[in-house]
Structure 1
């Protein structure tokens, strides 16, 4: 594999492995779930304009449930289980409890069908020609496998935090990735559209790349990470030097 020089502060690192967050970074989480939710609501006589508030509530609850698992306030449950629980709680809280159980079950599995951002299939493939490209996600192995196959996403390896029964940003997830693949932190870069993910990864000595995506929070300050890229094409260009 080729290595890309990355300037970080006063030093230049030689990166050979890219660890990618997936939800929001490589696939369009909010847009995909909004579309799937609109379809379910329309098919079951509920105002489709309620899709966005339902999705936002759903994802907020999901984040809270993962935090409870990570902090040991709750027993381990897989991402798929927590996704179903969060959707049930969101629907109940918003007064949509009349939606059919099977429709909600199908909607929960929409996380296995998230659409890639338009640049993801092409530019992941391009990056995979020069770097070891690895998915490192809180999503389940099953979900990652299905959405990657459906979306034409090229990975050399797919890693889920369920292997260590916790969720990012727990340090155990990043240690797992480095250890299981025998990676040196100094030649590894975490790529994500979320500052919290990058800051946690940086604690392990890996380089960081912030990827801007529509609907995701922008970086709070220029220069906070080793690389800031507009999209995957921009990231590939910067890594190529």
Structure 2
């Protein structure tokens, strides 16, 4: 029997501050699983009650005070969680689980990388590239496993993933070295970019708009920083991909929006 599973991902930029819109999203979109990034809370202070009240009783956390943090909340049982340190500095940027059907779900928050796209002038940029390089090595070990990798990659790889390819070539998140580094990671497991499978380039596709814009929708200076990549064993099961752009207009919004893929498994 085929079962439909909806999996969403959202950089929420503080889950406690934005819990109202998280509850709204869960009520309206009704994913089976939600992966959150930048939760900004230690595990003991994570607001479990609102999720449990909505039926998300399976919660796996990797939190950190004030910064970073990832979480997976699910209506479905989760097992075999792990927390990989791809930055080799103890920051809470990954959590992975296995579903009962054998599928792996990996939730990641890639470092932003600072403002200067130079490893020597800006160590944060080097840490970002090294983080993705470690993810590349990990990707090579997955073989034929059904894996979904989701999260804030902090890289917009394609020209149509940003509002101006020319103006952002030297801006962190769209520089050639970041795009090349991410491409190597994608090739390491033949990852399928589900966003672009369902919304093929060169169609506009953004998931992030800066808070600096007075009217984000009017200026529309967006970037596609949030991604869902499926392993070759899983990708054929993806049936629908949704980008919830309207959530950027909600009260006290994150600068990122949720994305969701439905699978027939």
TM above 0.5: no
Structure exhibiting the larger radius of gyration computed from Cα positions:
1
Structure 1 length-normalised TM: 0.29
Larger relative helix fraction: 1
Larger relative strand fraction: 2
Structure 2 length-normalised TM: 0.27
